Chain A
Amino acid sequence: MKMKTTTFRLLTVSLCSIASLALADEYGDYSEIDLEKVHQRITTLSGSTPAQWRITVKGDAATSATVSWSTLEPEGEHVLYYGRKPTGGDLEKYDHKQECQRSGQYTGDSKKKKEGEKIELASYHHAALSGLEPDTTYYLTMVSNGVASREFHFRTAPAEPEQLIFIHGGDSRSGITARSRVNHMIAQMIEQNPEIWGLVHGGDYVGSGKSYSQWKAWLSQHELTTTRQNRIVPMVVAKGNHDGGQLYGEVFDFIEDGDKQVYYYNTTFGDLASIITLDTNISGTGAQEEFLKASLEKLRPKSKWLFTSYHRPLYPAVKSMPSQKEVFVPHFEKHNVDIALEADGHNIKRTVPIRDDKKDPTGIVYIGEGGLGVGQRTPKTDRWYTDSKEGAFIGKGHHVMLLTMDRDKLQIKSIMLTGDVVDEYVQKVRK
């Protein structure tokens, strides 16, 4: 009997040790990775070679996506070849071909370089795809002026997903080395867990949105989120307060027309989840409020999980509350938004559930606030909604948030660049 108990104890201890080791190794430590190796993966921006690729989704994530890239030379045709089977780059074997609907030269810096020379401006190319098959891996090759990229692939979301996993983060506006590391970490996370659909970025990609050279660096570093198997991570993007100017629209295919700067839109994942992306750089009232009301009325009844994503935090851990809080929060609460994805504060935050400006189990949890590269700030410890005694979490350090949801529950993990999971939160679906 004693022998059996000892064996059982030993077995239990061993299993626990293995489990804890597995958990510790679940996310690697990318804080000290060799950047030389990482940067060897960056494509040289020269001639017509497609580089700085990215995929953005605005709309139905199961059937649409925009594939974008840059070339140094603007000349020639810019065409995306894509299909459901890998062709090894044989363009004729692809099912589809899509000419870029929008191409042009990036708007340049007003400042000149020290030598007195202007920075050579590259060009953007956007191929908007629709009518894609849900839950399908698409293989693609970008071709500019006859020069082809290597073959990449990305995956559309299922039409009726049973599970959705995405990474959320924000503020990659400075800290070039940290940005490379976080991007590399994202790629590694997707390699380890191919079920991760994409990245929801809360804005502040660069320090000065009007600086082409800063966007150029960001775009090339974004290549590092591509896995070694050439899988491109789709993005849902929100505009930050540092992303002013025309380049944001040129990078992410938003058409800017005078006063009609519309950076708010919806992204849907069947009946499992929806993300309403808002713009905290414009008035919360007026057209944006009408859009928010209409989106909430439409999406809440048919989404198990409803997210809002925007830059400036409505319940900030460092800063003061923005004027949009008075506009957005009543609508969020009326329509029972589940999680609000925020950025801007440069820290790690998960509030208590909030309703009517107080803790309420039926309320909305606000998470963020950006650590994709930018230097971190110390969050305030004296705010009721970030009080750890009440179950909230605050911290600082470069990180991403991993959101995993099914039809019953949602899990949020805050994962540091070191691989440490500093916060884990589970929420059940609203009844």
Chain B
Amino acid sequence: MWAILLSAIVAIQLLAMAKPILWEDGSDLYRYATKQVDLSQAKEDVAASSLEAIINGTATASELSIESEKTADDQSRQQLILRIDRGVGYFLIVVGILALFVRRRSLVVASLLLIVGGWCVADSFAALLNGGKAYSGLTPCSLAARSVMPFLLALLLLVLPKSASTKLENGSSVFDSLIRNRRFLNVFDIAARLALASTFLVHGYKAVQGHYPFRDLINLSARRIGLEFSTDSVLIMLKVIGYQDILLAVFVLITRSKFILYWTAIWGCVTAFSRVTALGFSGVDLWLVRSANGGLALILIALYWWFEKRGNELKLSQKVPLMTYKPL
């Protein structure tokens, strides 16, 4: 159950991530790389220091050259970056589809997922470097839940048995072998909870600060059902939401309360879906790309449920903990 949920969410997320790459303005990595080519083509560093010298009067315009040169090489580099980015878009679609169907150990698919995970992390850091958005410095942390998903699925595909069938003759599942793989479970569990907490913590902080897109999400969603809120009311709501997110992040990190996880899952799904309630059809991809925000909590719930249920059925000790915490 939890493994199916994991692969389904990874697939949905990767397909949604491919949309802006293939049909909009590309990935943050693409924007970062093309900007660097632009700046190097314009010899921006030299130009900036030369201009500063002119402004400061430490050099005259005639002493300095800040001419840029357009070379065919630069233009072909731009084209190459664009082609690579488009390639990444198609790659995400392929890996997303593969993620749906592989149910056994697969070094190949796991490697592909590791590459995708690495790309997700790099892209979030590119967003940080590109700037231009409020709190862009926090992007890698706010996208942690999204970024960790391919890594988690890769981890699973590395430890699963090689059997092609999900059902073994004695009625047990290939996943049953994982129940004794404490190292895998611990790594999976802690990585998932760290990422989830990171995402909720940053979103909570932004909400407390009255982040403007969140204000629009509330107002536009409320309008669909004929409600209007004052700016003060929205800011109060955001404060409440923000502190709740921060509390959820803390509890996700320090406990394994199923109640907290249910709350996190529902709230993660609701806030992601607010893109649709606010923006209509054009918000669908924005919702799907955030499927990990609530989905990761759902996966943890399913994982704990499976661990308890199959543990009992396989007559494992109820006391066997996931890491140092006992599932509640």
Q: Is the CB of A377 within 8 A of B219?
A: no
Contact A375/B25 with A177-B47, A177-B66, A220-B51 known, Cβ cut-off 8 Å: no
User: Which residue of B is nearest A244, CB measured?
Assistant: B134
Q: Is the CB of B216 within 8 A of A284?
A: yes
Complex alpha-carbon distance, A301 and B33, angstroms: 48
Partner among B55, B56, B65, B279 whose Cβ is within 8 Å of the Cβ of A326: B279
Cβ-based interface call for A331 (8 A): no
Q: Is the CB of A216 within 8 A of B213?
A: no
Q: Is the CB of B25 within 8 A of A285?
A: no
Partner among A40, A177, A220, A241 whose Cβ is within 8 Å of the Cβ of B132: A241
Cβ-based interface call for A380 (8 A): yes
Contact A377/B55 with A174-B42, A323-B216, A327-B220 known, Cβ cut-off 8 Å: no
Residues in B whose Cβ lies below 8 Å from that of A286: 215, 219, 230-231, 234
User: Which residue of A is nearest B63, CB measured?
Assistant: A36
Residues in B whose Cβ lies below 8 Å from that of A37: 61
Residues in A whose Cβ lies below 8 Å from that of B280: 326
Complex alpha-carbon distance, A326 and B277, angstroms: 12
Residues in B whose Cβ lies below 8 Å from that of A240: 132
Complex alpha-carbon distance, A178 and B39, angstroms: 11
Q: Is the CB of B48 within 8 A of A326?
A: no
User: Which residue of A is nearest B275, CB measured?
Assistant: A323
User: Which residue of A is nearest B61, CB measured?
Assistant: A39
Q: Is the CB of A174 within 8 A of B212?
A: no
Please report which residues of chain A, range 360-387, place their CB below 8 angstroms from some CB of chain B when the two chains form the complex.
374-375, 377-378, 380, 382
Cβ-based interface call for B73 (8 A): no
User: Which residue of B is nearest A223, CB measured?
Assistant: B55
Q: Is the CB of A375 within 8 A of B35?
A: yes
Cβ-based interface call for B60 (8 A): yes
Q: Is the CB of B216 within 8 A of A375?
A: no
Cβ-based interface call for A123 (8 A): no
Cβ-based interface call for A324 (8 A): yes
Q: Is the CB of B67 within 8 A of A285?
A: no
Q: Is the CB of B56 within 8 A of A46?
A: yes
Q: Is the CB of A46 within 8 A of B57?
A: yes
Tell which of A37, A286, A378 has the most Cβ of chain B within 10 Å. A286
Please report which residues of chain B, range 193-241, place their CB below 8 angstroms from some CB of chain A when the two chains form the complex.
210, 212-213, 215-217, 219-220, 230-231, 234
Partner among A204, A213, A281 whose Cβ is within 8 Å of the Cβ of B212: A281
Complex alpha-carbon distance, A365 and B278, angstroms: 24
Residues in A whose Cβ lies below 8 Å from that of B62: 36, 40
Cβ-based interface call for A321 (8 A): yes
Q: How far apart are A111's CB and chain B's nearest CB, in angstroms?
A: 13
| Binary CB contact string for chain A from 210 to 221 against chain B (1 if under 8 A, 0 otherwise) | 000100110011
Residues in B whose Cβ lies below 8 Å from that of A281: 134, 212
Contact A326/B278 with A40-B62, A217-B48, A241-B133 known, Cβ cut-off 8 Å: yes
Q: How far apart are A2's CB and chain B's nearest CB, in angstroms?
A: 52
Q: Is the CB of B38 within 8 A of A174?
A: yes
| Binary CB contact string for chain B from 168 to 196 against chain A (1 if under 8 A, 0 otherwise) | 00000000000000000000000000000
Question: Size class of A's contact patch?
Answer: 35 or more
Q: Is the CB of A44 within 8 A of B231?
A: no
Contact A42/B219 with A174-B44, A319-B24, A323-B278 known, Cβ cut-off 8 Å: no
Please report which residues of chain A, range 262-319, place their CB below 8 angstroms from some CB of chain B when the two chains form the complex.
281-287, 318-319
Please report which residues of chain A, range 388-408, place their CB below 8 angstroms from some CB of chain B when the two chains form the complex.
none
Complex alpha-carbon distance, A280 and B215, angstroms: 13
| Binary CB contact string for chain A from 316 to 350 against chain B (1 if under 8 A, 0 otherwise) | 00111101101100000000000000000100000
Residues in B whose Cβ lies below 8 Å from that of A241: 132-133
| Binary CB contact string for chain A from 198 to 213 against chain B (1 if under 8 A, 0 otherwise) | 0000001001100001
Complex alpha-carbon distance, A39 and B132, angstroms: 29
Partner among A35, A287, A377 whose Cβ is within 8 Å of the Cβ of B67: A35
Q: How far apart are B71's CB and chain A's nearest CB, in angstroms?
A: 14
Q: How far apart are B289's CB and chain A's nearest CB, in angstroms?
A: 11
Complex alpha-carbon distance, A326 and B281, angstroms: 12
Complex alpha-carbon distance, A323 and B51, angstroms: 38
Cβ-based interface call for B131 (8 A): yes
Complex alpha-carbon distance, A42 and B217, angstroms: 46
Residues in A whose Cβ lies below 8 Å from that of B35: 174, 375
Tell which of A204, A220, A283 has the most Cβ of chain B within 10 Å. A283
Complex alpha-carbon distance, A178 and B69, angstroms: 11
Please report which residues of chain B, range 64-93, place their CB below 8 angstroms from some CB of chain A when the two chains form the complex.
64-68, 82
Cβ-based interface call for A176 (8 A): yes
Q: How far apart are A376's CB and chain B's nearest CB, in angstroms?
A: 9
Residues in A whose Cβ lies below 8 Å from that of B279: 321, 323, 326
* Sample (28) of A-B pairs whose CB atoms are under 8 Å apart: A39-B61, A39-B64, A42-B54, A42-B61, A45-B56, A46-B57, A174-B35, A174-B38, A174-B39, A175-B38, A176-B51, A176-B66, A177-B67, A178-B68, A216-B55, A221-B51, A240-B132, A283-B213, A283-B215, A283-B219, A285-B219, A285-B231, A318-B25, A324-B216, A326-B280, A377-B25, A380-B23, A382-B23
